Structure 1
Amino acid sequence: MLTEPRRRAYLSAMQVVHWLPRAELPFAAPSRPELLLPVPPVQTPDFEVQPARPAAATQAEAVPVAGQVRQIERPKIEIPRPGSTPKPAAPVAEREPEAPKVARPAPVPPPRFALQLLRAGKCLLLVELATGQPFQSRDPSYLLLKDMLRAAGLPDAPQIVGEPVRWPLLLRSTMDQGPESARDFVQGFVQARLEEVPSHCVWLVGLPAVRFAAAADEQAYYQMLTVEGLGEVWALPGLELLMDEPPRKALVWKAMRQLMARWKSVE
């Protein structure tokens, strides 16, 4: 069930400004009645048009009356006299020091990642796509994922759920696509899939999946976390990292043996 902040983040990512639900949404903010009122007609203001003044009268006003003498005040110049002391000059007002300018924080660039959602038995898998391209049947990383599922007692032919999640969502857009927006979007996307088909555990494979679905980092690898709206999730290193550093596979297997009963007991 989507909460109001995540629903608004989801609609903002799709650039939806105004919308009306077909049915009452749970956890939704109340509608503002002023948005449903008809727009009042625009009234054009009444302008008072004054007749143009003749040019002769305007020139007559500009020409001064003959015989009128303008008196110009001349500045008084004080001549110092012998024996007199000059007056001290007026003190110059001290300039107040200018307040230091506060530098504006630089805008945070949007993160870049690609995630693929898969379903294997009673588990949902959110896997990082290191190359940004969907899995191929003979990819070494996909073959490693099949081995991990087989070792966990799950079907080794996972079902792909939807298109890959790519971020930034929109290129050349002025909307906010920073880390907070990415986290709201990924969590809302996975939560919507869990509402369609519940899952007993969510695998988060790769640092982007752990960071933007569980708000954690690499320190949470091999651990089971509880995330609001997603339930229990298992944080794992990326497939490419497991192939580059084989000793990490032993840590995955050690943690898997302790957690395997969570999805095997519900078969």
Structure 2
Amino acid sequence: MLIESRRRAYLCAMQVVHWLPRAELPFAAPSRPELLLPQAPVEDIEFDVRPAAPSATPPPAAPQARSGERPKIEIPRPASTAKPAPKAVEAEEAAPGVRPAPVPPPRFALQLLRAGSCLLLVELATGQPFQSRDPSYLLLKDMLRAAGLPDAPQIIGEPVRWPLLVRGNMDQGPEAARDFVQGFIQARLEETPCTCLWLVGLPALRFAAEVQTEAYYQELKVDGLGDAWALPGLELLMDEPQRKADVWQAMRQLMARWKSVE
């Protein structure tokens, strides 16, 4: 059996504000008839819960209850454990933009030849060295005869093929290809100088003199390489024979340059 003070403590813990027993409770305080009458809402009712006898561990203090309103129970929430964003992600968010696509390495093959006092850097359209009966090689021999140069040019070294490596992390972009081709020609010029460097084909123009097709038939001054002459590729001359007239006209103006050395 419960004494009145302990009963009220249990009821407060269960958040029961008003209650009436169905039967007479032993040791209970007499009922208050005014609780059965309709009354205005009570703002605050304080319960003085005290133990019947002093104990070593006092019971917890009874919370204050408010009529007609359920007390709010605060549930502690764990602190946020969100990890900081990596620096690389923060940098991308701070400076959004489209990254430039990597430039693929150019692909070409060039053969260096010597005819008299001239060097010839010629595009190999098929990527294979010249053969004695190749139509492109026969056309080159005809051009050398017309220029007054030996029609059996000397092949210097292996063809320059780009890219150098199929795999690897080495830079093989256009700038690296230009530096390699120019360095290769400069090394040959140190061995034997020449009066004019023929650049035959677009890859020879791009990676030896840094010019494009608009320089065809023109005489050029190239830093580190000296005087050069820009020509269309042999395959292009065979596909478009009308270009041979432009080659012949430009050749007549330059012939004195290498003939005076003989």
Q: By the TM > 0.5 criterion, same fold?
A: yes
AA aligned to 1:197 is T
* Structure 1, unaligned runs of 5 or more: 1-68, 70-75, 82-97
SS of equivalent to 2:157: coil
- How far does the alpha carbon of each residue in 1:140-198 deviate from its partner, in whole angstroms, 9 at most, with x for none? 00000000000000000000000000000111121110000000000000010000001
> Distance in 1 between the 2:260 and 2:180 partners?
31
SS of equivalent to 1:163: strand
SS of equivalent to 1:257: helix
Matches within 5 A, 1:207-246: 207-246=202-241
Task: Verify: 1:154 aligned to 2:144, yes or no.
Answer: no
Question: Higher relative contact order by CA 8 Å / sep ≥ 6: 1 or 2?
Answer: 1
Moved over 3 A (4+): 76-81
Task: Verify: 1:116 aligned to 2:111, yes or no.
Answer: yes
Go from structure 1 to structure 2 and tell me whether the alpha carbon gap of 1:99 and 1:233 turns closer, same or farther (over 3 Å shift): same
Give the counterpart of 2:199 among 200, 204, 222: 204
> Distance in 2 between the 1:78 and 1:155 partners?
116
Displacement of 1:80 in angstroms is 11
> Distance in 2 between the 1:152 and 1:135 partners?
20
* Structure 2, unaligned runs of 5 or more: 1-56, 58-63, 70-92
Identity among equivalent positions (%) equals 80
Displacement of 1:105 in angstroms is 1.0
Displacement of 1:78 in angstroms is 10
AA aligned to 2:99 is R
Give the counterpart of 2:172 among 159, 177, 182: 177
Give the counterpart of 2:256 among 245, 261, 267: 261
> Distance in 2 between the 1:164 and 1:102 partners?
41
TM-score normalised by L of structure 2:
0.65
TM-score normalised by L of structure 1:
0.64
Select the structure of larger CA radius of gyration.
Answer: 2
Go from structure 1 to structure 2 and tell me whether the alpha carbon gap of 1:266 and 1:103 turns closer, same or farther (over 3 Å shift): same
Displacement of 1:99 in angstroms is 4.6
Matches within 5 A, 1:1-267: 99=94, 101-267=96-262
Aligned-residue RMSD, C-alpha: 2.3
SS of equivalent to 1:160: strand
